[in-house]
Amino acid sequence: MTRIRRHPEVVATPDFTPLWAVVGTDGGLAVADSENRIWTRASGSSTWTRTSVVMPVVRSIFRDRATGWPAFTDGEGGVVACDPAAARCVSRSVGQVGAVTVPSPARGWEVRIDTLLLDGERIATLPAPVNEIRPQGDTLWVLTRGAGLYRLRRTPLTAVAGPGEGLHNVQNLWWDEAAGVLWALDERSGPWVAVGDAGSVEPPPPPPDAFVDECPVWSRRYFSDPEAGRWLSCGSALLRWSDGGWVLDAPEGRWGDGRAWFTGRGMMMASLPGGLWWKADGRWRLLNGRGRPPADIVTLVERPDGTILLGGTGGFWRLAPGADEAEFVDVRPALGDVRDLRVDGPWLWVSTVSSGLCALPVADPGATAPRCVGRPPQGSRTIHASIRDGRGRTWLSSNGGVGVVRTAALTRFAEGGDPPAVLWLDEDDGMSDREANGFRGDGVVRLPDGRIAFATQNGVTIADPSRLRLPPAPEVYVAAVEMADARWVEPATLSLPAEHPALLIRWSTGATPWAEQVETRYRFGVDQPWSTPSRSHTIGLNHLPPGTHRLELQGRLSGGWGPVATLVVHRAPTLQERTWFPLALAVIGAIGVGAGLLAWGMGKERVRRRLQRTVAERTQELAVRNDDLARLVDALEHERRSLAISNDTLVQQSASLRRQGELLARQADELRQLDRLKRQLIANVSHELRTPLSLVIAPLATLRQHEADDPRHRQLVDLALDQAQRLQDLIEQLFELSRVQAGGVRLRVHRADLREVMQRVFDAFQERGDQAGVGLDLELPAEPAPAWVDPAVIERCVSNLVSNALRFAPAGTAVRGRLSSTDDHVYIDIIDEGPGVRPDERERIFERFFEGSSPGQRGTSGAGLGLAIVRELVELHGGDVHVIDSGVGGCFRITLPTGTAHLDVDEVDLSGPDEAGTPVADDLAGDGPAEGSVVTDPRQPDARARLLLVEDHEEMARFLVDCLEETFVVLRARNGREALELLAGRSVDIVITDIMMPVMDGLELVSAIREDPYLARLPVIIISARQEVEDRVEGLELADDYLAKPFHVQELVARARAIMRRVLDGPGDGAEETGSVPPVGAFEQRLLDAARPRLGEAGFGVAELARVLAMSPRTLQRRMQEEGLPSPSAWLRTLRLRRGRQMIASGGYDTVGEVANAVGLARGYFTRLYAAEFGVSPGQELRRRRDG
């Protein structure tokens, strides 16, 4: 719609300030100013004339009944009527004039006291009530009561809003030559007509269904080729209209994210992520570059000689006629991202993101440095495009409004002249949003009737150049001069004393539209240069030199500079600055010089005699010093010879030290090699011990279950089983100590409250303390005790100390834990009332395999590795552990720093604790795996599942076969190759395999199974002596479960049967389609009840699930293993995928993003998991549902 400027213009001149105004019946104006003088202006004239009438006071306005002239009254019977055409006034009586009333508003105008409305929209509020409004062409005259005369003009811009409510962020404009309409494409609506008859045309055809998701409306760019017809480019396609439909036409079959142009050579050019392509003779070719390949091209322009200039984020390229290689043009300084190129005579005008509008010579853009102009009063320096209007002006599209500048001024600037003045138009001038668009497509289009369309953040703005009248150069006048407490208003001359404080000169311009954009400049004297133009209207002067100074001021708005305003300032000289003062100083100086010469002659002889005595004394002194110098030279020569001897000695010592250093380096390498071999030996030995140890523990555990009736036999079995488990603990400690000393322990440190760690440890040992008759007391501070630690590692250390204390504490006593802190350290004390530690053993007790001699130990003695491991782990945290004197019993103290200076950056985990850092005290305090982990039999016991056991160790294999044959039909293979041969000819339901085997190991076997399409879904359980986290992760990425040796055979059987139960009970495709749910156990039902209501939360994970179930994540994982369920994260992932498949099957969702959001997963991650789980992408299933 066409808008009215919201800022009324005061109709005034520098000669008077109008307060009362009235319009005569012929359109003439009369104004009473602030001094009660009467001014008139004839209808159609712009000249104001002062009459000879001065009224005592003006109270109200009237209109002469006979002539229709404007009239004024003083409120006491005095009335004058004035003829604006003749600039004369005559007296009238009160009865000869009539009151002025506000006429009925014309063309939708409405007056409400001091407010003007047009069609119900508030346009302006004036400082006084409105007496009358009078339309005259594009101008509305507003006469007020006591505030003068105003006028409002229509804006030069028209805002076109899109269909419906809300913002329409228009990205592309397209003039449809055949239909004669301008199409606008925005982010929320389909193509809509911005200019032209929308009812007579059909919208441009959309892309095919296969490209709808990849071609949003805002990215579509329609353009025409004289030979090939209509084209459409968008986010991921380049389409050509052929035989009533769109046909894909792009290099390599896909479009990427680019733009395309047609050139005068009859070829198409396309900028793609892979470079710049051009099409000629029906074939696409990649355009090569010389100096730098053309990439990220966003615009191009063709010179009259056929040369094509290319612009993009990487710079400029030049493509000569007939060439198949673009030449890189190095423009410095760099202009940044380029938005548009335009050739205008010898100049190339470049619209940029960060440098404004820049001029370069079109013949050679890299020959000179660019000259840039055009920053809006508000917003960035981004200029999207420039375009000429055919009326001698250039229009600019920017993020801060639409700019207008005289083309001749731009040309002078390109040739080296001053920067031109740009007039900026915004919402007050008719725009619905000052921020224009242009980075995604064509944002500026010149219409056939000469109007210009601009795409903006809210609709389309249409500029009619014929309606824009650039304002004339404004007049500037000195408004005031301020100095300390003195102030002069509108002075022409000013006299200052010799000593004066700082001056502040203020100037202003006459009433003019766009006054906020007026630029001014000043100079002192006609022979001085002008200052840099700015919008500041003040200048401060600290001190003026004596004499007369002429301050000249000029203003400009959209063209040349206006008339010069002058202020003459005279400053009186001080005493020192007067002309006779230097002469007086010269006379006084001459007298002083004469007196000085006389005194100098008299004292000359005295000085000569004194000099002779001084020379004799200095000569004697030099002789003495010469002798001293000779002795010093002799001493220096002796020192030089001594230094030469010392230097030879140092060279020999240096060579000897170098040889010793090389020897030490070799010895260090040998020691490191020996240490590595030692750790490797310990690790290998402990590794090789696990398999036979499994064969000891597993049969003993089975035997203990069958010897419950014979107490003697049960006692012997328990003794053997306890010793075997002690041997297992020793092997694990050896292995862990080897890892710690080899640097294999990687801390995951975050800021933790150690009170929580202490509380978890003492809670875990409470039952064991009750069994031993020893109390557990814990002293914790009221305030948090934070430190940067790995909570799991510190918890293990504290648990070890508490376990030792329970072994030595006599029954009836207590083990006390105490936590205290200072600014720099946190202290953990574990105190028992046992025999304590002898002073001479307090350091040795932390050595490996050292057992103290203190009596009173409960149960079996340890291996002497626990405290060594504790010290190693505490020292990793920059802390220390030692024994202190507590007066009774033993007291072990762990000291930890509270800061992070001792830690590597890689050790600090700023995201907080994760699932890997869950408590370990439960494991250390317990006696082994939980009982009751065996699940029920499969549903068809008479048809046992076939199990393939792959194990090279004969004794282990025989034992496992005996244990598994009660539930499964067991087949045996000795390595991976035999297993594959057996799988090729036999039907198998589940595989249990070891890792370390000859010929083909277990990991290679599982990989081969997963790659075979007929065996890929075969369940596999890995059993191995390798217990590192990396080994477990590697195994679980391939297999369905991983069990480390030594293990309880009941657990292995339970896990195998659980996996088989899931295979037998798991829903197939038909179950998911119909929504049936397989039967689940009580614990899994608890899991489902807790997880299903919160599956749509993106942050709902294992930790949140465990919190809902009132258990720790580690306990949750152990419970799920006992129930034969997958890991918590895998279980949640599978539940989300199945929920997503049910949602797709329901037909209530249209996009993959909606389904992914409903199950709490990111769209890309959900798509990958879904395809891997079900063998088809969710998008394909959605399309299949829609088509079906």
Q: What is the CATH number of the domain that holds 567?
A: 2.60.40.10
pLDDT single digits (tens) 896-950 = 998 877 775 445 554 444 333 334 344 334 333 333 333 333 333 335 788 999 9
- Scanning the structure block, which residue is given the tokens 């600019």? 396
Note the pLDDT of residue 1070: 37
Element (H, E) at 825: strand 825-831
Residue 187 predicted with pLDDT over 70: yes
Which pTM does this prediction carry?
A: 0.48
Where do runs of H (alpha helix) occur along 369-489? 407-414
**678 or 1072, higher pLDDT:** 678
β-bridge mates for residue 193, sequence order: 183
pLDDT single digits (tens) 706-716 = 665 677 777 77
Looking at the structure, tell me whether residues 499 and 564 fall in a common domain.
yes
Note the pLDDT of residue 907: 54
Looking at the structure, tell me whether residues 972 and 1100 fall in a common domain.
no
Q: What is the CATH number of the domain that holds 871?
A: 3.30.565.10
Examine the fold and report which residue of 1018, 1033, 1065 is the final residue of a domain before the chain moves on.
1065
- Scanning the structure block, which residue is given the tokens 């190129």? 341
Note the pLDDT of residue 861: 52
Please state, in angstroms and as integers, the Cα–Cα distance from residue 238 to each residue in 49, 235, 270, 271, following that order.
68, 9, 9, 11
Looking at the structure, tell me whether residues 893 and 1023 fall in a common domain.
no
Gap between the Cα atoms of 1140 and 1157, Å rounded = 10
**493 or 442, higher pLDDT:** 493
Examine the fold and report which residue of 1014, 1042, 1065 is the final residue of a domain before the chain moves on.
1065
Q: What own/partner pairs with CB < 8 Å and gap ≥ 24 does 55-60 have?
A: 55/80, 58/19, 58/20, 58/32, 60/99, 60/145
Looking at the structure, tell me whether residues 892 and 961 fall in a common domain.
no
β-bridge mates for residue 816, sequence order: 777, 831
pLDDT single digits (tens) 622-665 = 888 888 888 888 888 888 888 888 888 888 888 889 889 889 88
Cβ neighbourhood burial of 267 (10 Å; 0-12, 13-18, 19+): middle
* Domain-located, residue 385: no
Looking at the structure, tell me whether residues 16 and 142 fall in a common domain.
yes
- Sheet strands (E) in 1033-1165: 1041-1044
- Tokens, residue 985: 């000819």
Looking at the structure, tell me whether residues 101 and 16 fall in a common domain.
yes
Note the pLDDT of residue 411: 94
Residue 151 predicted with pLDDT over 80: no
Cβ within 8 Å of residue 226, ≥6 positions away: none
* Domain-located, residue 459: no
Looking at the structure, tell me whether residues 156 and 129 fall in a common domain.
yes
Give the domain extent around 92: 2-160
Looking at the structure, tell me whether residues 900 and 781 fall in a common domain.
yes
Do residues 1054 and 933 make contact, with C-beta atoms less than 8 angstroms apart? yes
Looking at the structure, tell me whether residues 1121 and 1166 fall in a common domain.
yes
pLDDT more than 70, % of the chain: 85
Please tell me which of 238-247, 996-1005, 1106-1115 the model is most confident about, judged by mean pLDDT: 996-1005
Note the pLDDT of residue 106: 56
pLDDT single digits (tens) 775-833 = 999 999 999 999 999 998 999 899 999 998 998 899 889 999 999 999 899 999 999 98
Q: What own/partner pairs with CB < 8 Å and gap ≥ 24 does 689-694 have?
A: 689/727, 689/731, 690/731, 690/1025, 690/1045, 690/1046, 691/953, 691/956, 691/1025, 691/1045, 692/955, 693/724, 693/727, 693/728, 693/731, 693/1045, 693/1046, 694/956, 694/1025, 694/1045, 694/1046, 694/1047
Residue 723 predicted with pLDDT over 60: yes
* Domain-located, residue 805: yes
β-bridge mates for residue 394, sequence order: 388, 405
Looking at the structure, tell me whether residues 13 and 131 fall in a common domain.
yes
* Domain-located, residue 76: yes
Gap between the Cα atoms of 338 and 316, Å rounded = 9
* Domain-located, residue 439: no
Gap between the Cα atoms of 921 and 259, Å rounded = 63
Note the pLDDT of residue 820: 94
Q: What is the mean pLDDT of residues 982-1006?
A: 88
Note the pLDDT of residue 359: 94
Note the pLDDT of residue 1069: 39
Looking at the structure, tell me whether residues 1038 and 1018 fall in a common domain.
yes
Phi and psi torsions of 237, nearest 5°: -155, 150
Residue 1150's closest CA among 71, 212, 182, 12?
212
Note the pLDDT of residue 891: 93
pLDDT single digits (tens) 43-66 = 877 678 889 888 888 877 888 888
Looking at the structure, tell me whether residues 960 and 1108 fall in a common domain.
no
**861 or 1088, higher pLDDT:** 1088
Number of domains composing the chain? 5
> What is the average pLDDT score of the chain?
81
* Domain-located, residue 83: yes
* Domain-located, residue 647: no
Do residues 1136 and 1100 make contact, with C-beta atoms less than 8 angstroms apart? no
Note the pLDDT of residue 564: 92
* Domain-located, residue 588: no
Residue 818's closest CA among 834, 809, 831, 799?
831
Gap between the Cα atoms of 733 and 682, Å rounded = 11
Examine the fold and report which residue of 1019, 1046, 1065 is the final residue of a domain before the chain moves on.
1065
Lowest mean pLDDT among 407-416, 688-697, 915-924: 915-924
Q: What is the CATH number of the domain that holds 994?
A: 3.40.50.2300
